[in-house]
Amino acid sequence: MIRSHKSVWVTTLLLTLSFIITLLLPGQANAKNTGNQNPQLQQQELEGYYFAAARNGNLDVMTAFLDAGIPVDHRNVQSYTPLMIAAYNGQLAMVDLLLSRGANACLQDKRGNTALMGAIFKVELSIAKRLINTDCDHKITNQQGENALSFADLYQRQEISELLHSPASH
């Protein structure tokens, strides 16, 4: 059977990332022989580690994934990017890493919410400030017609509202 170039690349990437994760997360790595595992299951498992790194602020694991070629704006099944997850979970250092690696702060999840909206909702002021300073139109609306400013007003985040009103955020 002849494998396509993409198939060989994906298999190699999965095995490399499995090895990296085993080194970086020895207590969490799957003890099974990943070489005998279904490639789709391997991918799902690795994606779980990828998004867990964003959620938990594990910079070493995220850096390994990004260095291995996983797209910085890769979405999970719920439509969230690592930046959205990091912002929502208060991981400022992860937000900075992802932005420095080219993460798009303007992307929206399936409900139309951005990483900034998640940070506003969770009262992550330092993350919201960082995201306000990205090159992103903060007038982007979600499916309910809310934008970052109306989100800040809705959830009574006065300091964020003031920042969004300032000329520097436009």
Q: pLDDT (tens digit, 9 = 90+) per residue, 150-160?
A: 989 998 889 99
pLDDT of residue 131 exceeding 70, the answer is yes
- Helix 5-24 to helix 59-67 angle (10° resolution) is 160
pLDDT reported for residue 35: 52
Sorted by sequence, the CB contacts under 8 Å of residue 82 that are 6+ apart come out as 50, 51, 53, 54, 62, 72, 73, 74, 94, 98, 103
Domain ranges for the chain: 41-165
Q: Which CATH architecture has domain 41-165?
A: Alpha Horseshoe (1.25)
Lowest-pLDDT choice from 1-5, 146-150, 153-157: 1-5
- The predicted pLDDT at position 31 comes to 43
* pLDDT score, position 42: 79
